[in-house]
Each structure stands twice: as C-alpha cells, then as structure tokens.
Homo-oligomer: A and B are copies of this chain.
C-alpha cells in the first residue's frame, strides 16, 4: 500500500517528513515547483500517481478548489483512499466526495482541515459512535486569536497587531478570510456536518466580522463587564434543526477559552454521555498540521475504514437558538431589545435581551449600513 502526497507546500512537506521519518514511505509527491530533496519521488504529472496501481492512499495538501477537486474525484473513482487538509474543498464538496468514497468502497478523511494539529474531527467522530452531541464550539483560527490576545494583553490597536501578524506570517496579505470569519465559518460548517450528521455549507453560517473591534471595546468588556473576548464558531443542536454561527464572543475570565493565548486553538464538544470534551493545540503550522494529515494516512495504512453515515436530514435554522448580545454603535437600536446600555463619548455600549441569532445578525447588517464601524459580539453564558 503506497502513499502519494499532492502539493509540497507548508502542510504537504511537513507530512512528507513525518511519514518518511516514521517508516511510512511516500512514493510520489505532486508539485510543479522543483524540489531536489525529493529526487525521483517528485512528479508534475498527476497521471503518474493516478495510474500507479500500488498507490492506494492519496493525501491532498494543495488547498483551494481547483485542481484539488478534480484530483480528489479522480483518486476516489480510481479506488484510492483520500486524506485532505483542504477545508475549502471539504466544505464545498462534502456530499459529492462522501458519496464517491462510499460508492468506491474507500475511505475519506480530513482531520487536518479543522484545528490544524488538533485531532478534533477524528475524536468528534470517535465520540459519536457511542454518544449524541448537543453542541460544538471553538477557537478555530490562530490569526484572530493572536490579534485578540495581543490587543488584550498589550492594550494595542487592531490594525497595529494585524500588521505584526502579517509580518510574522500568521495573517495573509489579504486577511479577510481570517478576520471576516470565512475561515472559521468553513471549519464550523465541517464540524457541524460531522457532529450532527448532515451537510452544512459555508453560506448556512451567520457571521459577525471581528474587523471592527477597538481598544475601547476591549476596555469596556474588561473593565465594565469583567469579561474577555474571543472569536469563535458555534454549532448547536435544536429540537429538529441546528444553528451555526461565527461571532466574537464575551466569555468569563475563568473559562478555558479566555486562557487560550497566542495563536493556539481549542475546540469542544458537549456529549450527552461523555459531557464536555475539549481539545487544545496548534491550529496551524508545518509540523502540527502535517502530523494531523500524516495521522489520517497512518490510520488508513493500518486498516481503518470507517465511513461515517450522512443522513442530510437536519437543516440549519438560526431562528431556533437564542442568546444575549453586546453591541457598540453610534445610535441606540429599538428599546425592546435592550437589556441595559451606557453612553461613553459618542458610542453606545449595549447589552441586549436574549435574541434569536438570526434576528441579531439581520439587525447587525442594517445597523452596519448607517454605522459601518459598529461592533457585535455574542455573550456565552
């Protein structure tokens, strides 16, 4: 049973080193750039992998939709097991790839697509064999956690810390996927799909951006409310639907999340039998994410073949979940949603009554039209 890796970037090269060092030889690596250290293992032609009958496991670490999607579909149709670290691909094509894996009697794994080096999806799946999960939640993006931690610890501005994160390589030149929540939304969608046995798309997830948070928000949340703030994704089981959303969230200082610093991640499940289980670690990086990709490969190499059922019976409905919200705006919203507020300088700092998630996200869109710097955060009880 031979192994191939598609893409020799950060994650692919990390997994390559870890697999080879651990005695799992990688036969072929697909990349269009030269890499002398790979010798004969390197190829720029995918057919060299697809037509090699001895290659039974393909680990995709290219990222993005194309050509990753085409390559993965071809591999599954050729009867090869597939492991992927590609959250965009899995979020977009989970149904299709899951069906193809079932039809071709092969295994599809993507632990490294969510939480980097944290074996989160793997343990979520393992827990579900003997339990039901009522909620998942997590700090799933290291860039935004690094920014918040630095703002809180060193009393710095958002833009200032973002520039440092970009210089350190934690944030992209275009940081929107991180700070506007798409990255977390995809990870929340994939996690919720597994947790609740359905298919959640990124468009199903309501998102508040982190972009508008200011030092004055941090100070108010800390000094007046005695809380701290993190950027998190949530998936919640309602009676017959689920709710999925990404929000900055106010947390007790004594919560685990409040003490997840720098670019670390933590992701939790709440099981009816097992109670709360939380998984903490590096959410990104060559060797952590490479280790998670390699671990899925080793599972399959050693005979793991579980393919998880996909009932697709549960729909996303953010009307069914309620919580209180913090908002900072330059005008007051309708008084019937306000629990309490304070006016400091030209800003209103407002705590709402319990509101439907969907209603608050709609309201936020309309407030942002006239007050584009307003900031919104959920409050985790």
Contacts and interface: CB of A to CB of B under 8 A. Distances in A.
Interface of A: 14, 18-19, 21-22, 117-119, 122-123, 126-127, 129-131, 254-256, 258-261, 264, 268, 271-282, 285, 287-288, 290-292, 294-295, 298-299, 302-306
B291 A282 contact: no
Contacts of A118: 277
A110 B118 CA distance: 22
Contacts of A306: 302
A13 to B, nearest CB: 12
B259 A130 contact: no
Nearest to A298: B129
Nearest to A268: B280
A330 to B, nearest CB: 34
A22 B281 contact: no
Given A119-B127, A274-B288, A275-B282, 20 more contacts: A18-B131, A19-B130, A22-B130, A117-B277, A118-B277, A122-B126, A127-B291, A130-B298, A131-B291, A254-B259, A255-B259, A256-B256, A256-B259, A264-B276, A274-B281, A274-B282, A274-B287, A274-B292, A278-B279, A303-B305
Nearest to A254: B259
A274 B271 CA distance: 26
A276 to B, nearest CB: 6
A127 B264 CA distance: 18
Contacts of A272: 287
A121 B212 CA distance: 42
Given A119-B126, A130-B298, A280-B256, A288 B273 contact: yes
A325 to B, nearest CB: 24
A273 B19 CA distance: 12
A122 B273 CA distance: 18
Nearest to A14: B273
A253 to B, nearest CB: 8
A298 B260 CA distance: 33
Contacts of A288: 273-275
A6 B216 CA distance: 60
A107 to B, nearest CB: 12
Contacts of A18: 130-131, 273
Given A256-B259, A259-B259, A130 B295 contact: yes
A117 B274 contact: yes
A99 to B, nearest CB: 22
A282 B277 CA distance: 8
22 contacts: A21-B130, A117-B277, A119-B123, A119-B126, A119-B127, A123-B123, A126-B295, A127-B291, A129-B295, A130-B298, A254-B259, A255-B259, A256-B256, A256-B280, A258-B259, A268-B280, A273-B288, A275-B281, A275-B282, A276-B280, A279-B279, A280-B280
A302 B307 CA distance: 12
Nearest to A276: B281
Nearest to A259: B259
Please provide the 9 A-B residue pairs with the shortest distance between their CB atoms, ordered closest to farther: A278-B280, A273-B287, A277-B281, A274-B291, A275-B282, A22-B130, A117-B274, A273-B291, A18-B130
A71 to B, nearest CB: 24
Contact of A254 (B123, B255, B261): B261
A94 B131 CA distance: 29
Contacts of A304: 303-304
A130 B18 CA distance: 6
A280 B282 contact: no
Nearest to A117: B274
Contact of A278 (B19, B129, B255, B281): B281
